[in-house]
């Protein structure tokens, strides 16, 4: 049979994570890391899923009630596309590190959907792929905003705001940047589940909604200023906004020791701005480094973390 490969993009959130779950704007961009998937026919009589890098191997249970948490999210795809009865093998190659705030789960969902789309010639549109990946994200963490699957699908920098009501379309605006924005991603190595940090923020918000809504509004306002700064290529201003955003995320208590160390290292070595990216609680940071990019990356590595130099736009 023919080998079909398909991919979903990893992403960073430059401004607006967590607040985006409550209806604020957020800015996200793809990074040159992707999850790839391949679908092949077999004679095994079931859907077999392999993720060699993670040592994951399972036969998808036909009855959703019997699936464990790992199977549940991706199982949605096979149910929805009515492929649960097929005999196939799906192999996944995740180049996006797991649970590092880089949108790995959404990228995986998109890659698997695209692999099935190509293999079975389903002719799915990007909108359909995105909508299905969103349903997987909702299973993975209850109140997903939809930003991860949107960037994983379209692979472009964008401004995002979730729909006011369930069933309505979110606001998605592609961002055209005058020039590339040079960043360093610092990866803490501490795995953290977005569902957990999103849940923590929700509990805190429920105790004092007025106070937390105020923080979300500030994040919303600085995100919109950030879009202006990006479009004008005013990186000093963008850096300030990233630093303030990190302070507010810290107020939401989604930072960690490792994240704080990474942010301090980046700023100390010349980053104009540095903040956690994605769910937090560990995971990754993003630093804006028009100068000293190599210095920042080297300092992060010297401290025992991983660093990646990427451009967005
Ligand atoms: O940790 P990631 O890469 O899944 O990013 C999550 C972003 C949040 O705003 C925290 C949650 C969401 O659904 O938008």
Q: Return the pLDDT at 5.
A: 62
Domain assignments of the chain as residue spans, ordered by start: 7-174, 181-312
What is the predicted ipTM?
0.96
- Assess whether the C-beta atom of 145 lies below 6 angstroms from ligand 1: yes
Nearest-atom index, ligand 1, CA of 18: 9
Q: Is 18 in the pocket of ligand 1 (CB under 6 A)?
A: yes
Taking the centre of ligand 1 as the mean of its atom positions, its distance from the CA of residue 158, in whole angstroms, is 15
Residues whose CB is less than 8 angstroms from the CB of residue 273 and which lie 6 or more positions away in sequence, other chains included: 238, 239, 240, 241, 242, 243, 287, 288
- Closest-CA residue, ligand 1 atom 13, reads 144
Residues with pLDDT less than 50, the chain: 1-4
63 counts as catalytic: no
First to last CA, the chain: 37
Indicate the class that CATH gives domain 181-312: alpha beta
- pTM as predicted: 0.93
Q: Rounded to whole angstroms, how far apart are CA atoms 122 and 165?
A: 29
**CB 97 less than 6 A from any atom of ligand 1:** no
* 117 ligand 1 Cβ < 6 A: no
Q: For residue 16, report the distance from its CA to the centre of ligand 1, in Å.
A: 10
> How far apart are the C-alpha atoms of 311 and 313, rounded to whole Å?
7
Q: What is the pLDDT of residue 169?
A: 87
CATH entry 3.20.20.70 includes domain 7-174: no
Q: Is the CB of 152 under 6 A from ligand 1?
A: no
Q: Of all atoms in ligand 1, which is nearest to the CA of residue 144?
A: 13
If you measure from the C-alpha of residue 2 to the centroid of ligand 1, how many angstroms do you get, rounded to a whole number? Answer: 35
Catalytic residue among 68, 79, 85, 148: 148
| Predicted local distance difference test score (pLDDT) of residue 165 | 82
Backbone phi, then psi, for 176, in 5-degree steps? -100, 115
Closest CA to 105 of 220, 192, 200: 192
Q: Are 9 and 155 in contact (CB under 8 A)?
A: yes
- Per residue in 144-175, pLDDT (tens digit) is 899 999 999 999 999 999 988 877 889 999 99
Report which protein residue has its CA nearest ligand 1's atom 5. Answer: 278
pLDDT at 96: 86
Which among 300, 294, 99 has a CA at the least distance from the CA of 309?
A: 294
Distance between CA atoms of residues 136 and 153, nearest Å: 13
Quick check: do 7-174 and 181-312 share a fold? no
| pLDDT tens profile 274-303 | 999 999 999 999 999 999 999 999 999 999
**Ligand 1 center from residue 170 Cα (angstroms):** 15
Q: What is the pLDDT of residue 227?
A: 98
DSSP H helices, 121-208, are 126-140, 147-154, 194-207
């Amino acid at each position: 049979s023919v080998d079909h490969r398909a991919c979903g993009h990893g992403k960073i959130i430059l401004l607006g994570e967590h607040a985006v779950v409550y209806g604020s704007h957020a800015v996200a961009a793809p990074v040159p890391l992707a999850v790839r998937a391949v679908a092949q026919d077999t004679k095994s009589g079931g859907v077999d899923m392999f993720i060699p890098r993670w040592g994951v191997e399972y036969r998808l249970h036909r009855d959703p009630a019997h699936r464990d948490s790992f199977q549940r999210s991706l199982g949605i795809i096979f149910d929805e596309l009515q492929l649960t009865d097929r005999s196939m093998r799906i192999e996944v190659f995740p180049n996006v590190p797991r649970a590092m705030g880089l949108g790995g789960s959404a990228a995986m969902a998109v890659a698997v959907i695209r692999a099935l789309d190509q293999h079975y010639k389903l002719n799915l549109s990007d909108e359909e792929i995105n909508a299905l990946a969103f349903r997987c994200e909702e299973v993975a963490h209850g109140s997903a905003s939809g930003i991860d699957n949107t960037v994983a699908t379209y692979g472009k920098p964008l401004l995002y705001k979730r729909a006011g009501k369930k069933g309505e379309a979110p606001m998605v605006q592609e961002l055209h940047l005058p020039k590339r924005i040079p960043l360093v991603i610092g990866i803490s190595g501490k795995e953290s589940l977005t569902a957990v940090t999103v849940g923590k923020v929700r509990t805190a918000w429920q105790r004092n909604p007025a106070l937390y809504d105020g923080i979300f509004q500030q994040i919303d306002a600085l995100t919109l200023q950030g879009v202006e700064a990006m479009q004008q290529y005013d990186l000093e201003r963008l850096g300030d906004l990233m630093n303030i955003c990190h302070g507010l995320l810290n107020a939401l208590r989604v930072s960690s020791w490792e994240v704080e160390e990474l942010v301090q290292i980046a700023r100390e070595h010349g980053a104009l701005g540095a903040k956690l990216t994605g769910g937090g609680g560990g995971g990754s940071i993003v630093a804006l480094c028009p100068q000293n990019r190599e210095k920042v990356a080297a300092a992060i590595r010297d401290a025992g973390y991983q660093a990646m130099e990427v451009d967005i736009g």
